[in-house]
Amino acid sequence: MPLYNMDMKIEVPPAEKYYDRDFFSDKNLEIKVLHMEISREYPPHSHDFYELVFVYSGKGTHRQGSREEAISPGSVIFIPIGREHSYIDNRNLSYINILFSKDVLPRLHLNPEEFLLTRITEYDMTRIIDTINRIDRETYRREYGYESCAKALLETVLIHIVRAIGRRDYLQDRDIRLRIEGVVGNVQRNLSLSYTLGELAEMADTGPRNFSRIFRQIYGTTPFKFINRSRIEESLSLLENGKMTITQIASLVGFDDSSYYSLLFKAQRGESPSEYRRRMSLSNSRYEL
């Protein structure tokens, strides 16, 4: 991934706290881009400015307070002023820092605290790094209007992040929808089996709460109401056949309790299984005559 100004890397020795005076020599523009490479543990520290981190290669663990998160290419981290953080278990970790002062944030329309730590795609990271390179060029060359241009580009970076998160969430929802539809197909082929919400969610490779949320969006009901409705629909042809008892049919379509099956059947169809069987038998008899 091409990076601008790599030969101008600034060595940042570990310290307990970093101050804006050590980084912002240009008081007209308190924004700075740093290219960092670490293969060792970077001890806990804080700073009196904001920091955006974009990981583009290597791996490690970011610790912010008591929270630890694995980071790798695509990780984006926002560190608020005064928030202690550190990097541990680093393996050739390379990332870009955008540092900016507290005076810059109020002039932005977006608050980076909405994404303290997130992940974006390689495509989005490439676009964002291209914008960061433009910030780097503006702060290095200091041509006319560089202050306004760099601030506008910083806001563009934040907008890119928010849009990237939106695309990621859309793709994840679309992916989980396909997986849930696959689970439903499997369940409908095996209605005699019993399922827990945890088992259904595990089949879709997601959590129970997310499974229920997306399931309702797709089917307009809860997973178990949908399954019971499918079981009752499956039982109709068996009732019409007339060769099995209602208890046998209830068990075959996944109900351990035939009384519960009859109760749900009447609530859904407006008549009991016996009444349905009788009505369909009479209807078929008239048709044969």
Domain boundaries, the chain: 6-169, 230-288
CATH number of 230-288: 1.10.10.60
pLDDT at 284 over 80: no
46 burial type by CB count under 10 A (0-12 exposed, 13-18 middle, 19+ buried): middle
pLDDT averaged over the chain? 85
Please state which CATH class domain 6-169 belongs to: mainly beta
Q: CATH topology of 6-169 equal to that of 230-288?
A: no
The span from the CA of 71 to the CA of 69, in Å, is 6
- 173-226 tens-digit pLDDT: 778 888 899 999 999 999 988 889 989 988 888 888 889 988 998 899 999 999
- Whether residue 91 has pLDDT greater than 50: yes
- How does pLDDT run across 14-26, given as a tens digit for each residue? 668 888 888 888 8
Mean pLDDT over residues 2-20, rounded? Answer: 62
pLDDT digits (tens, 9 = 90+) for 55-74: 999 999 999 877 888 999 99
- In the chain, what percentage of residues exceed pLDDT 70? 88
More confident residue, 120 or 4: 120
pTM of structure: 0.58
